[in-house]
Amino acid sequence: MELSVEKLREQIRAGNFAPVYLLYGEESYLRNLAAQTIAQRAFSKDDLQDLNFAEYNLTETNLGSVLLAAEQAPMFSTRRVIFVNSVKIGASSSGDTIAESDLELLDSYLSNPPETTILIFICDELNANRKASKLLLAKATCIRFDAPDQKEIHRRIESRFNELSVTAEKAAIEVLINRTAQDLRRAMNETEKLALYLGVNNKLSVDVVESLVSDVSEVSNFELSRHLIEGNRAKAVAVTKKLLADGVEPILLIGSLFYSFRRLALVAEMLAEGFNPESAIKAAGLRYFEKDTYFGAAKNIGTTKLRFILRRLAEADIAIKSSGFGQSGSRLEFEMAIIEISAACTSQTP
């Protein structure tokens, strides 16, 4: 059964809990926060939480052992709560953490779960076409966590600063959101660091954010775009791997690259049509130090390949947004796009 995030909040406040939850979607911060909130609210003050909460990682423990633990009765508590982390059901079985051999056991549990256990599957990757995914989606209470918009991120950051007795300027929060590339997890992590730096009853200004928080979006836009535009394939691939390892979402990097290559394509088109360089600089909004790089790249890459690059970025964007690749699938799609784009930029056949 699919449940909205708002409906989940209502049920948690009312103390109504499902026996099995599936938490999935691209927004990992809210997904994990929901699991923690369920665990906190599920126990009463008289329950011995330490004896009745367990957390398993499917990369270390097989699902059969987890389900066996979930069947156990609580001790000195009304219920048990179990987190099942690292649930991965991809397009192929190679990276799955739920094996085909576990499906019969999983089906049996989901068909008759014990009333005294809340089992929470925290899913990193979910391909809806796979049997295990269909089983969970059909029989668990499912909540999908999509990436929040900027307004929601702002609200959460402001609320957290208030909790920590820090007065944050609205402009400072906006700068923080932009510097963390609208990634809620990164933004909340930086919020905690900034509050610790400032201490209680202090004010957060734009200057403090700019001096202490690295600009993720600028790094992705400048370094990765620059290496691609300059035709430095090895460095482009290395930066791609670093950014992905640092947790930057592929969809954000695609938007950043699309912006850079759209400007480059504009320069190439205008120069090809005979416009003077100053008009191209103004139209593309180039900064003084970008002129030589963009003009050289426009000449070397050419309008035909730039159209291919923009089309490939658009295809990757649509594929990641619409296909439910999951985290590893999205990264693979982005890396493949980068390889093809870098080949185009270095005059190789993409």
Q: pLDDT tens for residues 81-95?
A: 999 999 999 888 888
Does residue 124 contact residue 57 with C-beta atoms inside 8 Å?
no
On the question of pLDDT at 11 being above 70, the answer is yes
Q: How far apart are CA 21 and CA 38, in angstroms?
A: 10
Helix or strand or coil: residue 291? helix
Q: What percentage of the chain has pLDDT greater than the value 70?
A: 95
Does residue 132 contact residue 96 with C-beta atoms inside 8 Å?
yes
| Mean pLDDT, residues 310-338 | 82
For residue 280, give every residue at least 6 positions away whose Cβ sits within 8 Å of its Cβ, in sequence order, or none: 266, 267, 270, 271, 286, 295
CA distances from 315 to 78, 131, 303, 318, 323 (A): 51, 27, 18, 5, 12
If one compares 348 and 315, the residue with the highest pLDDT of the two is: 315
On the question of pLDDT at 349 being above 50, the answer is no
Q: How far apart are CA 16 and CA 154, in angstroms?
A: 29
Q: How far apart are CA 135 and CA 172, in angstroms?
A: 45
Q: How much is the pLDDT for 141?
A: 97
Does residue 328 contact residue 95 with C-beta atoms inside 8 Å?
yes
Give the highest mean pLDDT range of 87-96, 214-223, 226-235: 87-96
Output phi, psi for 225, to 5 deg. -60, -45
On the question of pLDDT at 197 being above 60, the answer is yes
| Mean pLDDT, residues 151-177 | 93
- Six-digit token pair at 134? 């269909």
Of 120-124, 125-129, 255-259, 273-277, the one with minimum mean pLDDT is: 255-259
- Model confidence band, residue 326 (pLDDT cutoffs 50, 70, 90): low
* Residue among 253, 216, 264, 265 nearest 333 (CA): 253
Q: DSSP of 300-343, one letter per residue?
A: HHHHHHHHHHHHHHHHHHHHHHHH--HHHHHHHHHHHHHHHHHH
pLDDT digits 0-9 by tens, 37-81: 999 999 998 999 999 999 999 989 999 999 999 999 999 999 999
Helix or strand or coil: residue 231? coil
Question: Where would I find the beta strands (DSSP E) of the chain?
Answer: 20-24, 53-57, 80-89, 117-126, 141-144, 166-168, 202-204
Does residue 322 contact residue 243 with C-beta atoms inside 8 Å?
no
pLDDT digits 0-9 by tens, 300-323: 899 999 999 999 999 988 888 776
- Six-digit token pair at 317? 């964007």
| Mean pLDDT, residues 161-169 | 93
